[in-house]
Structure 1
Amino acid sequence: MKLINNKIALIFGLVICACSSMYAQPSQKKKIDGVVAVVGDYVVLDSDIDKTFLELQAQGVETKGITRCEMLGTLLEDKLYAHQAIQDSIVVTDAEVNEFMNSQLDQMVEQVGSIDKVIQFYNKKNLEDFKAYFFDVVKMNKLTSQMRRQIVEEVEITPEEVRQFFVKIPKEELPVFGAEMEVAQIVVKPVISQTEKQKVIDKLKQLKKEVQEGSSFFSRAVLYSEDPGSKSSGGYYKLTKKTQFVKEFKDVAFSLQEGEISEPFETEFGYHIIFLEKIRGQELDVRHILISPKVTDEALKEAKTKIETIRKRIVEGQISFAEAAKQYSDEKETRNNGGVLMNPRTMSTRFELTKMDPSLYSEVSELKDNAVSLPLMDQEQNGNKKYKLITVTNRFEEHTADFATDYLKIKELALKEKQIKAVGKWTEEKIKETYVKIIGEYRECKFTSNWLKKSL
């Protein structure tokens, strides 16, 4: 059972330890002397500290060096974030909570094999009891994370601040950055026939008709949608005009009336129908079904022939890799940049070898400079296959930080430092404004923040 417990804890993260003090079991609520702190409307129990240690240990985190005082300080911060989120009218909708909770539950069940094992691990009577308990837990966790994000999202840093941050670092303490490389690719996608497209359009029209005749859009999305991000929640998304969705999707969603289902329409992901479930001011509750036309074997062969021809021209020097990417690549995100990939973690073109995605590393690790890989078959989220060529365009050996060469990395470090200071300042200000009480032996703790409100 230990392995199962660890897997569940890893999936749910610290959602319990971040929020469990307010939602303790009935037996814990009766233990009045178990209350060790109060922040605003929230309490922290001594048992919450124990739970936090257990959760961290279940995730494989070494806790020997963490004191109970330090753990209490973390819990106090969580309660302060949640309390202030409510004061600032930060809203977490029931739909958001249910979507996240259902998604996490699906992952837990997939990991351990059954919903009964999940319920048993959390010592709940049944699924309803489990969901009722974790609804409040998840809601509070989301309030906490949104409050944290709001504190730091407006923190910006100027080039001069980055420079000052760098020059203050003693020479012997300058960070060392690992070996990196820049990678480019050319993608050729098989051409999907009009016949295959029409099959999908007809299927979506049929599903729309079934819903209009009384079937559940939720169940149809669960059964037929190919969108991994919303399939398990019946195709649900919360949408505003600022939501980072493709333009075609938002245009259709905001053209619908409440209760209306769209006609099938196309985006880069495939074909969709959208059901506008609810209008909440500037916010929409929508459900959608995504189905992608399938690639035929004949189209796949034609794509392979095309990319082999492109590779031959590059190798023979008839065209450069960058020029070929601009002319022939079907990946619009990279083709205008000569096929150069963007690191999604750092938003730069460099990939540190020790942190590179294993699948990408396996494709480039043996490539010499300017060599072009053989055609590699890849698969998109919708299951359709495509071919790609990869080359290494630049390499950077392990080195001590240099301001000009590593500006983006240094900027990231400087920004993090400034954000930490902003959070610290915010915390101290809000502690002064908020009712905080530390009880019993924990008043002897030496907290980083002034939770005891001592005169400074």
Structure 2
Amino acid sequence: MCKFQPVLLRTLAIGWLLALASFAHAQLVDGTVATVGTRMILRSDLEMELLRMKMQGNTTTAADICPVLENLLIHDLLLDQADLDSVTTDLGRVNQEVDQRISYFIMQTGSEAELERQYGRSIRDIKREMRELIGEQQRAEHVRSQLVKGVKITPSAVEGFYRKQVPDSLPTVPERYVLRQIVLNPISSADAEYAVKERLIGLRERILKGERFSTLAMAYSEDRSSAAKGGEMDYLPRESFVKAFADVAFSLQDGQVSQIVKTEYGYHIIQMVGRKGNMAKVRHILLKPNYTSDVIATTVARLDSVRTEILNDSITFEDAAAVYSDDKDTRLNGGLMTDQQSGAAKLQKETMVPVDYYEVRKLKDGQITQAFESRDRLGNVVVKIIKLERTIPSHRVNLTEDYADVQQLAKRQEEQKLMARWIQRKQQSIYMRIDKKFADCKFQYPYWKEKMAE
């Protein structure tokens, strides 16, 4: 597989953040290396992308600057088309993604202060730069998806694609697992839920007596990404929130504080900050129940008894999931676990909750873990048993085990062909000027060479 995808955009991962952190302190000689329409690509853009790649563990050489430049040129072609097509940024989605990434980065670095120290900028500035880059990425990806949306791949085309591949050229997939789970929420949790409600009632009373909502959110809220801003979220549309939260939030007047709201994330109190059209800015304080060791032990014992029923063939794992599991995402499909992003039923280590992988790695195919404490996709405490249906060793992609992967590769090839034709047309219809210092680059699209100038 090619090391650089033709439409690789300026990605935003932890490596990107650390690269920017290093870049913020670097003394680089900047200058324009290319102009695409009204946009300029700076030497610092190239340096930053190379640094990001290094921070993600990739080995880079001086020659890598050529494909990096080509990726940025294509990125700017897509943005120019986004301007022509009047593609706008979905601010709600952008702000949501920024908050998610900031929360992840804070978790990785240990604290907001440490994140600011490593990056050399305030959280506000980090978010502003992220918002701009994610917005660009979103608009460029919208153009690309519109260009390739008509690509369809038939089963015969998938097989034909596979037969034409040199075996050694196909990618290797890591070890994967087919897993089923039964999940119980903590039993006898009434005391924990009562305690968390009492805490929120106390915080609400303090606010009504004059204490600042933002101060208490910073001190107590378990939503750390918003707690860093006094519990405040950016302006978001109603659909950006879960229904129970949205129903209460959008019923509030400016400054009003809600009663306790229960959602799948935990328990909240909400304050309306202000509205703009169909968007609202709110603050919230989130608290989750704290379960005692006795509650967890009781739940573990209950789930171990279900496990015993399964081992004694009194019930199948699949039927037990339907009867006992509290996990709405898996209980109706026999407990089958899937990747949250792709929906695939073959899970890699990296896509699993770490404690789940720690338990699964001890198993042989067909075996079931003891009941253990874990977390659900929202970070809530749960107790699980997991059955390892099958281990799929690392191997090169093949039609038998990996039809969906081969189908995706075939579809991507057709999309790349279509994109290549569009890029060649777009190159000839837009003003471009590229520094002649890159004349020796072996670009995927040779037409760039015609735009070289001193």
Q: Structure 1 residues 113, 231: CA separation in 2 closer, same or farther (over 3 Å shift)?
A: closer
Q: Structure 1 residues 304, 417: CA separation in 2 closer, same or farther (over 3 Å shift)?
A: same
Task: Map Cα deviations across residues 241-278 of structure 1 (whole Å, 9 max, x no partner).
Answer: 443x4332232233334443322111222211222323
Residue identity in the other structure for 1:138: M
For the pair 1:138 / 2:130, whether they are aligned, the reply is yes
| Equivalent residue, structure 2, for 1:3 | none
Question: CA shift at 1:111, angstroms?
Answer: 7.8
| Equivalent residue, structure 2, for 1:318 | 314
2:70 aligned counterpart, secondary structure: helix
Task: Map Cα deviations across residues 172-227 of structure 1 (whole Å, 9 max, x no partner).
Answer: 63546565431111122223544433332233233334444544333322221122
Alpha-carbon distance between aligned partners in 2 of 1:395 and 1:355, rounded to the nearest angstrom: 15
Task: Give the 5 Å matches for 1:60-209.
Answer: 60-64=57-61, 66-86=63-83, 88-91=86-89, 96=95, 99=99, 103=103, 106=106, 110=110, 114=114, 117-118=117-118, 127=121, 137-154=129-146, 155-156=148-149, 160-170=153-163, 173=166, 175=170, 180-209=176-205
Q: Which moved more, 1:177-186 or 1:219-228?
A: 177-186
Alpha-carbon distance between aligned partners in 1 of 2:59 and 2:80, rounded to the nearest angstrom: 29
- Of residues 12, 15, 19, the one that matches 1:10 is 15
Q: How many residue pairs end up in the alignment?
A: 430
- Of residues 214, 225, 230, the one that matches 2:226 is 230
| Equivalent residue, structure 2, for 1:49 | 46
Q: Which moved more, 1:176-185 or 1:306-315?
A: 176-185
1:169 aligned counterpart, secondary structure: helix
Structure 1 vs Structure 2: percent identity of aligned residues?
Answer: 26
Aligned Cα RMSD in Å?
A: 4.1
Alpha-carbon distance between aligned partners in 2 of 1:266 and 1:274, rounded to the nearest angstrom: 11
Q: Which runs of 5+ in 2 are unaligned?
A: 1-12
Q: Which moved more, 1:283-292 or 1:108-117?
A: 108-117
Alpha-carbon distance between aligned partners in 2 of 1:101 and 1:314, rounded to the nearest angstrom: 41
1:219 aligned counterpart, secondary structure: helix
Residue identity in the other structure for 1:240: P
Question: CA shift at 1:12, angstroms?
Answer: 0.4
Alpha-carbon distance between aligned partners in 1 of 2:62 and 2:155, rounded to the nearest angstrom: 33
Alpha-carbon distance between aligned partners in 1 of 2:36 and 2:101, rounded to the nearest angstrom: 26
| Equivalent residue, structure 2, for 1:36 | 33
Q: Structure 1 residues 118, 294: CA separation in 2 closer, same or farther (over 3 Å shift)?
A: closer
| Equivalent residue, structure 2, for 1:372 | 368
Q: Structure 1 residues 320, 180: CA separation in 2 closer, same or farther (over 3 Å shift)?
A: same
Q: Which moved more, 1:193-202 or 1:150-159?
A: 150-159
Contact 1:156 1:415 in 2 (8 A): no
Q: Structure 1 residues 420, 217: CA separation in 2 closer, same or farther (over 3 Å shift)?
A: farther
TM-score between the two structures when normalised by the length of structure 2: 0.77
Task: Map Cα deviations across residues 322-343 of structure 1 (whole Å, 9 max, x no partner).
Answer: 1111111122221111211112
TM-score between the two structures when normalised by the length of structure 1: 0.77
For the pair 1:299 / 2:298, whether they are aligned, the reply is no
Task: Map Cα deviations across residues 15-46 of structure 1 (whole Å, 9 max, x no partner).
Answer: 689xx9xx9999967xxxx3322123332334
| Equivalent residue, structure 1, for 2:282 | 286
Q: Which runs of 5+ in 1 are unaligned?
A: 1-7
Task: Map Cα deviations across residues 120-151 of structure 1 (whole Å, 9 max, x no partner).
Answer: xx5xxxx56x965x566434312321123313
Alpha-carbon distance between aligned partners in 2 of 1:136 and 1:434, rounded to the nearest angstrom: 29
Q: Structure 1 residues 171, 252: CA separation in 2 closer, same or farther (over 3 Å shift)?
A: same
